[in-house]
Structure formats: C-alpha cells, structure tokens
A and B are shown apart, each in its own frame.
Chain A
Amino acid sequence: QSVLTQPPSASGSPGQRVTISCSGSSSNIGSDTVNWFQQLPGTAPKLLIYSNDQRTSGVPERFSGSKSGTSASLAISGLQSEDEADYYCAAWDDSLKGYVFGAGTKVTVL
C-alpha cells in the first residue's frame, strides 16, 4: 500500500484536460516538494515536474503541477495520444526518513 494516494486511472479525449491528484500527509507533501514522473512501458520513470510546479527542460507546457497543503495535482491540458502513460507522484517523508511514491495513475487517451 503506497504512502501517497493517487487514482488508479484517468482518461480523456484528444484535446481535453486531465487532472491527477496525489494525497499525502504533513510528513511528506505537507513539508516537502512534490515530483511527478511519467513512465512509458518498459522504460524508467522520467522526471516531468519538480519542486511542485517546475517543468523539466523539454517537457511541453501542457503539463503543469500544483500543490496545496498535503495534496498535489498534475494537469495535462490539450491531451495528446503520446501522453498515454503511467504517472507517479513522489516526495520525501520526514517521518519515514525516505522517499515515498504514489501507486501510479494510468492515463488513457480515448
């Protein structure tokens, strides 16, 4: 059971907006920054968003991140077929003294 809670799936038609939530606690999201990763089948996770809302170089502007209190979210606007992937949130946990991840959200483009 993952420390951070994400919905297992999300979907949208091309061009639509999809939002993925990530819920944590005061010891992780509430006290540290959130990273978001995209994982395509058979590949390592790729850093998409760091420090809550900063896009990694080369990541399209349609990806955006935000954080409020003990929750964070990733939004994909103008959904494209190549955005079909698994998305994970992560943060450092001060109580566990380790990095914690969400279970991942599978995004499907209809």
Chain B
Amino acid sequence: QIHLQQSGPGLVKPSQTLSVTCAISGDSVSSNSAAWNWIRQSPSRGLEWLGRTYYRSKWYNDYAVSVKSRITIMPDTSKNQFSLQLNSVTPEDTAVYYCARVTHPGRIVDYWGQGTLVTVSS
C-alpha cells in the first residue's frame, strides 16, 4: 500500500522560504512509472498544481508558470522522499499544501499526502 506522509512547519514569515517534505512508502521516488507532485489549495485560488519531479533515466522537473521563479522540488533518494521549497513567500501563499503521486502513463493522481496547512504571517 502506498502512503505519503508530509512534514513541515505550519507558520512561515513573509519573505522567507516555505519548506515541506513528503516521505514515500510503498513506492520509490526513483520509479519510472510515477511523478511526484506538489499541489496547494486555498479559498482564493482553489486547487493549484505547483510542480513535479520524476526520474526517467535522469531527473526532470516541471513547474507552474505562476511560481516558476520561486520554487524548487527536489528528490532525496537516500530517504525516499521529495521536498518543496517556495522562496519569498507572501500571505498569498497561505494554503494547504499536498504532495501527490501521478502515474505514468495515464497521468492519474492516485495518492495524496494528508496535507500541511502553511500560514504566511509575521
């Protein structure tokens, strides 16, 4: 059974960096049949895909245009996890952040983490 367990601080100050980690069990971050994604949800923006990392003989990343200049998603093969870093945050980045697995092929978003509420406030 696949399980995604998120961890990270719930409060970040404006202009600082938001960091959330997603630990994977039951699958591998290096799997050739999955991509590992970050999605956030807020009342003002709804569900918003932020980006993904995946391994196909080498590592690839794709990021949403809205956050491309501020985001980094990194795999950690030694711990079988991946992380999200979002720089220069503002109160607009306050949201519930989810990690999720998307299958390849098929692009099915089949497993989600439990969600991490991150509030950006001084």
Chain A positions near chain B (C-beta within 8 angstroms): 2, 32-33, 35, 37, 43-47, 50-51, 56, 88, 90, 92, 96-104
Contacts and interface: CB of A to CB of B under 8 A. Distances in A.
Given A44-B114, A98-B62, A104 B47 contact: yes
B84 interface: no
B106 interface: yes
Interface string B106-122: 11111011110000000
A99 B102 contact: yes
B63 to A, nearest CB: 8
B109 A35 contact: yes
- Interface size class on chain B is 20 to 34
Contacts of A103: 46
Contacts, number: 55
A45 B47 contact: yes
A44 B115 contact: yes
Contact of A50 (B98, B108, B115): B108
Chain B residues touching A, majority SS: strand
Given A98-B62, A99-B102, A90 B46 contact: no
B86 interface: no
Contacts of B114: 44
Nearest to A99: B49
By CB atoms of chain A within 10 A, which of B39, B109, B114 has the most?
B109
A44 B98 contact: yes
Contacts of B48: 101
30 contacts: A32-B107, A35-B107, A37-B109, A44-B114, A45-B47, A45-B98, A45-B112, A47-B110, A50-B106, A50-B108, A56-B110, A88-B47, A90-B109, A92-B107, A96-B64, A96-B65, A97-B62, A98-B49, A98-B62, A98-B64, A98-B65, A99-B39, A99-B49, A99-B109, A100-B49, A101-B46, A101-B48, A101-B49, A102-B46, A104-B46
